[in-house]
Structure 1
Amino acid sequence: MMAHGREQRDMAEHQDWGRVVPAQEAWAHVEAAGTPEWRKELASWWRGVSGEDVLFHEGDLQADSLVVGPRPLIVSGSVRLKGLLQDGHAADHTLLVVLGDLEVENVATFSAMFIAGDVRIQGLLFGDSYGDDVFCVGGGLTARALIEQHHHIGVSGPLDVDVIVGDKLTSTEKPRKKLEPHEALLTGAFTVEDEDEGDITDSTVDRKGLLAKLRAGEPVLADTRLSPVEKAIAAVKEKLARGEQATRLTLAQKKLKAIPEEVFSLTSLESLTLDTNDIAEISPRIGELRALKSLSLESLPLTTLPEELCRLPALKKLSLRYCNHLKRLPDAFVELEALEELYLDVMALESFPEVLTRLPRLKKLWLWRFFKMTPGRVQGLVDGLGRMPTLTHAGFLQGELSALPGGLAPLARLKQFKLGLERIPQPEVKRLEAALPPGRLHVGY
């Protein structure tokens, strides 16, 4: 496939696509095409080549593939390609103007393309130009996916696009889905930026990898018929259907407003991550996931927790970091008898949750986000830690304190105390170190 791709490119680059004419002569044909708005947009780009010669192709252009550059190419008819259309050959900026329609398998553009008619792309349009260039369509645009990296895409007519990655699309209509690179592309076309226990949560387009696959004629688009949430749930169900273990589900950063009902049928789940969604209320059905050992609800706009969550019999680890609307823990929290580790956001808490002192197995309590905390509130947290008989590890993490409270003795019985604040006077760190047995203080996360 690679050799075949190179042959196509060589043919495209060396074939004579038209005759060389002054730009002014070609503009006479352009003036009769497209809408006034399309011509106005093109005019600003045309000024950059007005003193040059251009390639002018009379009528329709049909080929396996086409590489534009270094001369501007103007096609008076339509362009129909079996394979890839790309530009930017042998020049920093190139220009393609098609006065008819464009039909192509895939497009990779790093410069300017203007299509007066309709565009029909079987696969994807990949645009990458740091915001300097444009793919401008006078008619409608049909494509499976638009992969946009700071490249302006303008469509005057109807839009029929399944997926977009990016946000620089100007159109009266919207693609059906907006996805992240790892959700829309196959491996090798994106770079993983962040993972959570093996699940990708953030990614960027791999420009070189994607372009190499397009040039080689390899598949680049993932199956986007299912949403990322549906895919994740389906993957768990498929494993279960094969008799395999499927104990973990991650639905972080999926723009959810509620936990999908299908999740509650996955009663073998032991780990569920719902971080960074718009879920303001946890469904009481969470209690049906009785095998859950780990539950992460970070960065959710929660104001309370349902009693059903507090009755999960196997839950050992719970994260409520960045839940900055959660002012108190419910009394039913005491029923989490298996809970061993808790991550808690203290910014919104009205006071130390006394219910924590009655949890029989809680060993680790990590308190997060110390911003504008009064000495009295911090002392209340320290005193609360001292009333937890089973606690062995605790910490103040993220934020800043100008001073620690006077009474640090309650921390002395801990096996480890983590101080992971961005700003705290060094004398206060020394005072805390002196209040603890040797080796018990860990500075950092």
Structure 2
Amino acid sequence: MAARVNLQPQSVDGHFFLDLSNKGLTSIPEEVFDITDLVFLNVSNNKITFLPSGIEKLQKLRGLLIYNNELSEIPQELCSLSNLEVLNANNNRISTIPASVEKLQKLRKLHIDENDLTEIPKEVCSLSNLELLGVAKNKLTTLPPGMENLQKLIELFIYDNQVTEIPHGVCSLSKLEVLNANNNRLSNLPSGVEKLQKLRKLFLDAGKSVDRASTRGLFSLQS
């Protein structure tokens, strides 16, 4: 861990923010977990390999940025942060998401792109306030059952995986505006995709590998 790090949080409108990004950290200083009024914690762009027990003390935390580290898992303790709204864990080595993620009922944005995920647990689909789900650049072959429960979802990023089909539940996401499914193994889209009336951007592989009939009326959305 870096020799000396300033652990004094900044206060903005009475909310405490702590930015420890780009500090050469290999772990989060234990003292951070004593700042129980923290609302936002940024430890991105470090060399952190695990999140220690103690993080569950930060019960007021709304935003946690842990991207660009060397994490292999999301610990159970993190899932007890009931006020968390934004979690960005992009570009780590995470291979699983714990089922206890369902406890994060206030979560609006979940970024977990560029990791080693082979599946997304069905419990993610219980996060009814989710507006953005990013699971691109992983090793996924399927999406979980229950996608239809994410009725507030606006953006879905699943590009650069090995997904062979998009579940029918995605077609009932009436608020979905962006669907990026580039570079997968899709042969067609589910019937009912025309129900996505708010869809503004649909990204698919060049069109050749996707059955044109299944995307009738949607090709104008590709960009």
Q: Taking structure 1 as reference, are residues 300 and 432 closer, same or farther at Cα in structure 2, changes over 3 Å only?
A: farther
RMSD: 3.6
Is 1:386 matched with 2:147? yes
Gaps of 5+ in 2: 204-222
User: Which residue number corresponds to residue 418 of structure 1?
Assistant: 178
Mapping 1:84-95, distance limit 5 Å: none
Secondary structure of the structure 1 residue equivalent to 2:21: coil
User: Which residue number corresponds to residue 41 of structure 2?
Assistant: 272
User: Which residue number corresponds to residue 395 of structure 1?
Assistant: 156
User: Which residue number corresponds to residue 56 of structure 2?
Assistant: 287
Q: State how far apart, in whole Å, the 2-side matches of 1:393 and 1:244 are.
A: 29
Query: Which fold has the larger relative contact order, with Cα–Cα distance below 8 Å and residues 6 or more apart in sequence?
Result: 2
Contact 1:270 1:292 in 2 (8 A): yes
1:390-445 deviations in whole A, cap 9, x for unaligned? 442231255477xx7455532212212424467689x9899999645334142479
* TM-score (normalizing by structure 1): 0.39
User: Which residue number corresponds to residue 317 of structure 1?
Assistant: 86
Mapping 1:56-205, distance limit 5 Å: none
Contact 2:128 2:149 in 1 (8 A): no
Is 1:263 matched with 2:32? yes
Mapping 1:283-432, distance limit 5 Å: 283-323=52-92, 325-345=93-113, 347-369=115-137, 377=141, 380-381=142-143, 383-384=144-145, 386-396=147-157, 399=160, 405-407=164-166, 409-414=168-173, 415-420=175-180
Contact 1:292 1:312 in 2 (8 A): yes
Contact 1:411 1:417 in 2 (8 A): no
Contact 2:127 2:150 in 1 (8 A): no
Tell me the matched-pair count.
202
- Kindly state the Cα deviation for residue 257 of structure 1 after the two structures are TM-superposed: 0.7
Percent of counterpart pairs with the same letter? 21
* TM-score (normalizing by structure 2): 0.72
Contact 2:171 2:192 in 1 (8 A): no
Q: State how far apart, in whole Å, the 1-side matches of 2:42 and 2:129 are.
A: 22
Q: State how far apart, in whole Å, the 2-side matches of 1:440 and 1:364 are.
A: 14
- Kindly state the Cα deviation for residue 326 of structure 1 after the two structures are TM-superposed: 1.3
Q: State how far apart, in whole Å, the 1-side matches of 2:68 and 2:166 are.
A: 32
Q: State how far apart, in whole Å, the 2-side matches of 1:310 and 1:406 are.
A: 29
Aligned partner letter, 1:410: G
Q: State how far apart, in whole Å, the 2-side matches of 1:385 and 1:313 are.
A: 22
Q: Which structure has greater strand proportion?
A: 1
Aligned partner letter, 2:84: L
Aligned partner letter, 1:416: L
Q: State how far apart, in whole Å, the 2-side matches of 1:252 and 1:428 are.
A: 41
Gaps of 5+ in 1: 1-176, 178-225
